[in-house]
Amino acid sequence: MNDLIVSLVSHDELTRRGEGPLRRTLDSLSAAMAYLARKKPGVDVYVACCDDASADGTPDCIERYFQGKDWFKLVRNRVNHSIGFSRNSAAAQFDTDLVCLLDADDE
């Protein structure tokens, strides 16, 4: 069982605000992962991102950013659902007791 999963939901982030904010969100997430690795050695942390049927290339950008990371999974909704549905879809990717939810405007 994994110790913690971080769920990030994405929906048309590039269309609304450009690639800069998305890049900052992904950089912040990577920094948080590095911090957890230093402060909580032995704790397994995984990231699941659910793209809520965006049509602007956001999921491709996210997938390239995390390419080769075994602790990352991307879920792609075929149609737009609620944020709750997307968060649950992301959280279901790993067997864990703890889930941390992050949105693009969280720091």
pTM value?
Answer: 0.71
Contact 101, 51 (CB under 8 A): no
Summarised one tens digit per residue, pLDDT across range 86-95 is 888 888 888 8
Cα gap 82→61, rounded to integer Å: 22
pLDDT of residue 13: 52
Is the distance from CB of 90 to CB of 9 less than 8 angstroms? yes
Instruction: Give pLDDT, residue 6.
Output: 58
Question: For residue 72, is pLDDT > 70?
Answer: yes
Tens digit of pLDDT for each residue in 4-52? 555 555 545 555 555 667 777 788 788 888 888 888 888 888 888 888 8
What value does the CA radius of gyration of the chain take, rounded to a whole number of Å?
A: 13
C-alpha 87, offset from chain centre = 10
